[in-house]
C-alpha cells in the first residue's frame, strides 16, 4: 500500500528526533487506520471492526497490536487517545501528521521522474494525507501539472468542502466498497487541498466496481477498490469533460489489499 511512505517517514522522524535530543525512543507508536496504514511497523493500530479481514490479518502478521474500534472517525480518535494514555506511546496521525503528508509526497517525486510528460495526477482521497503530499510536491516543482482528487459519492466530504470553500466533514458517511477513503479530510490537509487541488471528481459504487474489475482483467493488477476510485474518476463523464490538453494522466493505484474471500466465486459452488 502507498501508506507505508507516510508511516515510515513519521516513525523515522520520531526516532531521529529523539536521537538528536539525546532522549529515549518513544515507548510505542499509536495510530488509527482503515487497515493500510497499520502495516509495516510494530505498533498499536486502532482499526474499525468492519475493516477487511485481509487488512486486519496483515497488521497482526507484521507484529503490530490491533485494537478494534467502531467504524467512525470519532471512535477511531477516542480509542487511539485511550491507547496513547495506557501505553505512554506517541500518536502518529495517519493523514494529518506533517511527516506522513511529506512521506506521501514522495509518490509525486517518482511520478515526475519516471513520467515527466505527465499533465495530470488523479489521487483517491480519504483523510487527504496522500493528495496533500502529492499536491505540495507537484505544485512546487511542476505547477502546470493538474492534481485531481477522486472520491466515492458515498463519502464526498472533500467534494463538499471544495464546493463550500470550508472544511465540511460528513458526520455519517455512507458505506462504500472503497473502505480506505471513507474517512474525512482534516484541519491540516484541508488548507493544502483548498489551495493546491484543481478539482474533485466523485464516483458511484457501480463505477468503482467496474473500474476495479477493468484493472484486474486488462492490466492483471490486483488493486483494491479504493485504488479503483481513481480509475473510475478518470473514466467518468465529469473528467472526460475537462479540457482536452490533459493527454498524459497518471492515476495513483494506491493499494492492493483485497479480501479474496469476499470474491464469492472463490468460496461458493463446487470445487
Ligand X SMILES: Cc1ncc(COP(=O)(O)O)c(C=O)c1O
Helix (H) or strand (E) holding 42: none
Give the residue with the Cβ less far from ligand X, 136 or 226.
226
Residue 181 lies near ligand X (rule: CB under 6 A): yes
> Taking the complex as a whole, how short is the minimal distance between the CB of residue 150 and ligand X, in angstroms?
10
> How crowded is the C-beta side of 34, counted as CA atoms within 13 Å?
23
What minimum distance in Å lies between the beta carbon of 134 and ligand X? Answer: 10
Return the H-helix or E-strand segment holding 1.
none
Question: Cα 269 to chain center, whole Å?
Answer: 35
Scanning 115-204, the segments in alpha helix (DSSP H) are 129-141, 157-164, 189-196
Task: Give how far Cα 124 sits from Cα of 69, 121, 237, Å.
Answer: 24, 10, 17
- The whole-angstrom separation of Cα 67 and Cα 80 is 9
Here's the x/- map for ligand X, 194-233, by CB under 6 A: it reads as: ------------------------------x-x-------
Interface with ligand X includes 127 (CB under 6 A)? yes
Based on the shown chain and the rule CB under 6 A, indicate whether residue 176 belongs to the binding site for ligand X: no
Q: Is 3 in the site for ligand X (CB under 6 A)?
A: yes
Q: Which is nearer to ligand X, 89 or 128 (CB)?
A: 128
With CB under 6 A as the contact rule, the residue among 5, 32, 37, 182 that binds ligand X is 37
Minimum distance of ligand X from residue 124's CB (angstroms): 5
By the 8 A CB rule, do 152 and 183 touch? no
List 48, 103, 129, 225, residue binding ligand X (CB under 6 A)? 129
Q: Would you give the distance in Å from CA 167 to the centre of its chain? A: 18
* Interface residues toward ligand X, by CB under 6 A: 1-3, 33-34, 36-37, 95, 124-131, 180-181, 224, 226, 254-255
Amino acid at each position: 500500500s502507498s501508506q507505508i511512505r507516510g508511516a515510515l517517514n513519521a516513525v523515522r522522524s520520531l526516532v531521529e528526533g529523539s536521537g538528536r535530543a539525546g532522549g529515549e525512543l518513544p515507548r510505542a507508536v499509536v495510530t488509527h487506520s482503515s487497515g493500510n496504514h497499520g502495516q509495516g511497523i510494530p505498533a498499536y493500530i486502532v482499526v474499525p471492526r468492519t475493516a477487511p479481514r485481509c487488512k486486519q490479518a496483515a497488521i497482526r502478521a507484521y507484529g503490530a497490536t490491533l485494537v478494534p474500534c467502531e467504524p467512525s472517525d470519532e471512535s477511531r480518535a477516542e480509542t487511539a487517545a485511550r491507547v496513547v494514555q495506557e501505553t505512554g506511546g506517541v500518536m502518529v496521525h495517519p493523514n494529518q501528521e506533517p511527516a506522513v503528508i511529506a512521506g506521501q509526497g514522495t509518490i509525486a517525486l517518482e511520478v515526475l521522474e519516471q513520467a515527466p510528460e505527465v499533465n495530470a495526477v488523479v489521487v483517491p482521497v480519504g483523510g487527504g494525507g496522500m493528495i496533500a503530499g502529492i499536491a505540495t510536491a507537484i505544485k512546487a516543482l511542476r505547477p502546470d501539472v493538474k492534481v485531481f482528487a477522486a472520491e466515492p459519492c458515498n463519502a464526498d466530504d472533500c467534494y463538499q468542502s471544495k464546493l463550500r470553500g470550508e472544511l465540511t466533514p460528513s458526520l455519517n458517511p455512507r458505506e462504500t466498497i472503497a473502505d480506505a477513503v471513507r474517512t474525512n479530510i482534516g484541519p491540516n490537509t484541508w488548507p493544502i487541498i483548498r489551495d493546491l487541488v484543481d478539482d474533485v471528481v466523485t464516483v458511484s459504487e457501480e463505477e468503482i466496481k467496474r473500474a476495479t474489475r477493468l484493472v484486474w482483467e486488462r492490466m492483471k493488477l490486483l488493486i483494491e477498490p479504493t485504488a479503483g476510485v481513481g480509475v473510475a474518476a478518470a473514466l467518468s463523464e465529469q473528467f472526460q469533460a475537462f479540457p482536452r490538453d490533459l493527454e498524459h494522466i497518471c492515476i495513483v493505484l494506491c493499494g492492493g489489499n483485497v479480501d479474496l474471500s469476499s470474491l464469492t466465486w472463490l468460496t461458493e459452488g463446487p470445487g
